[in-house]
Amino acid sequence: MKKFSGLLLLEDGTTWDAIGFGKKGFGVGELCFNTSMTGYQEIISDPSYAEQIITFTFPHIGNVGTNSDDNESLKPMAKGVITRAKPTEPSNWRNELNFDLWLEKNCITGLYGIDTRALTKKVRELGAPRAIVHFNENGIHDLEFLKQKLDEWPGIKGRDLTTQIYLINKKNKNNQTDLSENAAKVLLFDFGTKLNIVNCLERYAVKVELISGHATYDAIIASKPHGILLSNGPGDPAATNNFTNKVLKKLVDNTSIPIFGICLGHQLLGLAMGARTEKMNHGHHGANHPILDLRTGKVQITSMNHGFAIDSNSLPQNISESHISLFDGSNCGIEHKVRDIFSVQYHPEASPGPHDSLYLFSKFFKMVERYKDNEQKKTY
C-alpha cells in the first residue's frame, strides 16, 4: 500500500492523502480557499492569513518562484498551503528562492496532490472548517495525535490576533528623508498591515508613521496627524474591538481628522460607530471579487481576504453603506454622512492587483491635504 508523505485532516474527521512539501511537521488553522490566479507570495505573506490554511484553487503555484520584494510582511503568518499540482520549478528572472524552500524557510507546511475543487466544495459546505496539515517523509501520520492538536486549537472566532503581529513591519520600506517639512502626516494603525499600504501612501509624499493598534487617544492627538489609516489584520474584529472601540469612538466624535479603514480597519471603524460584525460561512478570499458602488452604480473588481463582515442592518443613521459584494450582497464599504470618514472591506492596495480601487488613496489624500490646510490656517 502506497504511503503518502502528506495528510489533511478536517474537523469532521475527513482525511485527504497528499504529498508534503515546505516545512516538515504540522500546521493547524482555519481552512479557506483563495481564487486568485496570481500573487501567491503576496497572499501567503499577508498578515491577515494568520492561523489560516490556504487552499489555492488555481493549480499552477510556484512558477515564478519567490523574491524579497513581493513579501507583504516580514514574517508570513499562514499555517499551511494546499495546491492541486506539484509546485512548478521557477522560471522568472526575479526568482531568488523556489517556492518549496521559501515555505520551509518561513515554517509553513504545504500539501499537493489534493483535489482542490472537491476540497473547495467541502469548505463551502462546512463553513471554513478547522483543519490540520501534516508532512512526514516516511508517510507516518498519528491520527490520534493530529486529532488532539486539532481539538486543542481555539479557532479564530472570539480571538484578537493583532497583538502577536504588531509591528512586524516596523520600518518604512522607502527612505522618506527627502520629504518636505510641510508634508502631511498619516498615522497608520498597524493591526497587521500589508507593506503595500505603506507604499501606496508614500506615493503621495506623505509622512507615514506606523503606530500600535493599542495606542492611546492622547498619544494619537499628541502626534498631530493629518490623517489616520486603519490597516488590515487577522482575527475576530469583535475581539480586537475590546481595546480599539473607545479610542476610535473618541477620534470620530471629538476630532475632524480624516479616517480611512481597510479590511479589519473597516470592521473596527464600523464597530466604533455602532455597527455589528458577523462571522461569514467561508469568507471572501481572492482577487476577482466584483463589488457595486451604490453611489455611482459602477462595478469594480477587487481583492478580498476576510472571514467577518459588517452587518448592513446594524448601521447607525449617520453612516451610509457605500459598497456591496455582487457575490452575496454583504457589506463592502461605509461612509460617514458628515465627517471625512470612510472604509472598505476589500483591498485597494492589492498587489499584484487588481487596481480598480487605487483611487481610494487619492480620495483619502485629498481629505488629508484639506485637513492640513485648515489646521495651518488656524495658526495664522
270 and 241 in contact (C-beta within 8 Å)?
no
d(CA 287, CA 347): 9
The one-letter amino acid at 204: Y
Neighbours of 178 (CB within 10 A): 8
293 and 275 in contact (C-beta within 8 Å)?
no
From the list 62, 141, 138, the residue with the least C-alpha distance to 104 is 62
141 and 111 in contact (C-beta within 8 Å)?
no
d(CA 380, CA 375): 9
Cα 173 to Cα 47, 199, 291, 324, 331: the distances in Å are 17, 8, 31, 33, 32
The grid coordinates listed for 172 are 518604512
Sheet holding 207-212, edge to edge: 207-212, 185-190, 227-230, 259-262, 341-344, 331-336, 319-325, 277-293, 299-310
Active site positions, annotated? 263, 347, 349
Cα 282 to Cα 52, 168, 328: the distances in Å are 12, 27, 12
d(CA 216, CA 132): 38
Q: Hunting for cell 498619544 — which residue is that? A: 219
